[in-house]
Structure formats: structure tokens, C-alpha cells
Amino acid sequence: MKYSIYLVFLLCFSFASSQIRGNATISRQNVIQAKSLGNANTYRNNMNTFRQRNLVPNPIITIDVKALNNIVADSYTAVFNLVQIGETAEETNKLMNERVNSVKNTLAAQGLFRKDIIIDVISFVPVYETVVEKKLFSKTYTEVPKGFELQQNLHIKFTKVNQFEKILAACARNEIYNLVKVDYFIDNIEAVYTKLRAEILKILKEKKQFYLDLGFDLTHYKPTIADIKYCHFPREFYKSYQAFNSISFEALKKPRGVVKAKKQTSYYYDPLSFKEYDIVINPSIVEPLTQIGMEIKLQYKEKPEAPKPTEKVKEVIKNKYFILSKDGEIKVKELKLEN
């Protein structure tokens, strides 16, 4: 009985070990497969690179500060493109106005102002078709006017993100589907830069005090400076990827070819990373935001020692007098003065 229990325990342990090893192998394969699809990243190699960084002493002291502010836009403008065709110019213009007025009335009932909806006419051109004229021994292809095409851009301003869903719904009901872009606007961007400058000055003072505590008197160094500021909008940071798995062993066994389906391309918002910044204002990002940054770099190079003043040798001038003889001869003699 004891040997039977031991044998059962050994078999269970072997099965569990095999299962663990199998799960580990599958997990590693999934990571490799995801990495090959570009849908996941592994950071093991990067971590080793970070740990192997070497610090190289430099006679030039560099102090840099990077600041970033994530700003919620004060207003937005969505731009839609719409096209209308008709047999006559009057009919085309009438159909276009009906669609636009319907959107305006719907949004006005939901709290948006009519003055915030602007029409931008892009083109109004005739449309041609080709007519075949058959002759006895030949054919002639002639372009004749078929109708008119009116193309406009619809600019809609809104101030709250949740209003955008209502705008999309109103446009979709009127067969307006082509969203061109969404612009973000900040009313007082200079105030944002002023706040960033104040935060940068605080960090600069702390870093200068740090070097002073280490024994480096920066007054003995000659400073040089470089600075930059920038503003990035959300549409600059959208990336795309495709997530799918098209492996099928059953399809490989069949003699017929495999017809591949169209893979959906997905997009996501990937803002600036915070890891290289000293200051990040509003770090928690829920919705796409405008990222405004400012960087400053100071380099201190030790001033050369001032040359020591050389001692001047005083030239002693002795007093002399001249004697002119009767013969015209001039004699020079030193005049000795008694102290």
C-alpha cells in the first residue's frame, strides 16, 4: 500500500512538472509570436542596456531641466467633408443645404450655437460621362455634361469632449461620414509657458545647490545656455497596428489555396513618455491632450586662471652734467648728490 501511494504521488508530480514546463513553453511562444506581430514588446534587453550605462567624468558641468504640461483643450473644431451630386446646379445646392441645415438644427437643439458651424466650399463643378456614337466603320466617344458635384467642408466648434458623440450622430443621420480631422485650441498658451518657466527655475536652483554642496562653486565657471519650447497635438501621436492570428493547420491540409481576409488596422494614442522629464504637470492622461514642453540646458566651463602680474624693474636714472672746454670738447660727468 505504501509503495502504491508513493507511485501515485510520483506520477502526479511528473504530470504537474510536465504541465508547468508545457505552460512555460507556450507562454514563451506567445511572447515571441506577439513580438513578431508588433503587438507587444519585451523589455528584457533594454533593462540590461540601462544597467550597463557607464558614467564618464567631464570637466564641463551640464545642468539640464525638462518640463512638460498636459493641457486639456479649451475648444475643439471637427472638420467633416461632404459631397453632393445632382442633375442641375439648383438641385445640387438645394440637396446640400438640406443636409447641412438638418445638422445645424439637430445640434442647436442639443446646445451648440449655429455661429459655431461654418461652411467651407471646396468645389462646385460639372460632372461628365462618356457617350458612344456608333458610325458605319468606327465609334466616337464624346464627353457630355451629366450633372453637378458640390463639395464642402463642415467646421463644427465644440467645448466639451462628450459633445463630439452627438456631433457624429447628427452627421451620420445626414450621410456625412468623412471626418477629416479634429483640431485642439488653447486660449492662453503664454500662461502655460510662464508656468513652465517658473517650475524650471525651481529645479535649476535645486540642482545648482546640489553642485555647490559637492564643492563646485559655479561662480568660477563660465556658463553657456540653450533652450527650446514645443507644442504637440494629439493627432501627431496616433500609431497603428494589426492584431490577428491567421494560422490554421486545417487549411494547410486542404489542396485548395487559402483566401486571406482583410485585416483591420487599429489606431491608438501614444503620447510623449514622462521618463526623461524632471517636471510633469497633469501626468494622468485619460483623454488625448495637448502636450506643451520646455527644455533648458546650462553648461559650465571652468574659467582660466588670471595671469599673475609681473614685477616691473625700476630704471634708475643718474643725474649727469656736461662740461664744455675752450677747445670745444664735451665731457660728461656724473652728478653725485649728498643724502
- pLDDT, one tens digit per residue, over 209-267 is 999 999 999 989 999 999 999 999 998 998 988 887 766 666 666 666 666 777 888 88
Identify the weakest region by mean pLDDT among 25-39, 162-176, 277-291, 292-306: 25-39
Task: Calculate the average pLDDT of the chain.
Answer: 80
pLDDT of residue 31: 36
pLDDT of residue 335: 63
Residues 6+ apart with CB under 8 A from 43: none
Q: Is the pLDDT of residue 72 over 80?
A: yes
Q: Measured between alpha carbons, how far is 128 from 111 in angstroms, rounded to an integer?
A: 42
For 149, other C-beta atoms within 10 Å of its C-beta total: 15
- pLDDT, one tens digit per residue, over 191-213 is 999 999 999 999 999 999 999 99
- Domain-wise residue ranges, the chain: 59-73+187-307, 75-185
For the chain, what is the largest distance between any 2 Cα atoms, rounded to a whole number of angstroms?
Answer: 155
129-146 burial by CB neighbour count: b if 16+ within 10 A, else e? eeeeeeeeeeeeeeeeee
Q: Measured between alpha carbons, how far is 252 from 244 in angstroms, rounded to an integer?
A: 18
Q: Is the pLDDT of residue 109 over 80?
A: yes
- pLDDT, one tens digit per residue, over 23-42 is 333 333 333 333 334 444 44
pLDDT of residue 258: 65
User: Between the CA of residue 12 and those of 6, 17, 73, 138, what are the distances in Å?
Assistant: 10, 9, 61, 88
The structure's pTM equals 0.66
User: Is there a contact between 52 and 256 (Cβ–Cβ < 8 Å)?
Assistant: no
Q: Is the pLDDT of residue 132 over 80?
A: no
Q: Measured between alpha carbons, how far is 112 from 295 in angstroms, rounded to an integer?
A: 39
Orientation of helix 89-109 relative to helix 163-173, angle to 10°:
150
71-93 burial by CB neighbour count: b if 16+ within 10 A, else e? bebeebbbbbbbebebeeeeebe
Q: Is the pLDDT of residue 43 over 60?
A: no
Q: Which CATH superfamily is domain 75-185 in?
A: Protein of unknown function (DUF541), domain 2 (3.30.70.2970)
Q: Measured between alpha carbons, how far is 294 from 64 in angstroms, rounded to an integer?
A: 11
Query: Residue 68, class by beta-carbon neighbours within 10 Å (0-12 exposed, 13-18 middle, 19+ buried)?
Result: buried
Give me the DSSP letters along 221-284.
Answer: EEEEEEEEEEEE-GGGGEEEE-------HHHHHSSSPP-PPPPPPEEEE----STT-SEEES--
41 backbone dihedrals φ, ψ, rounded to 5°: -125, 145
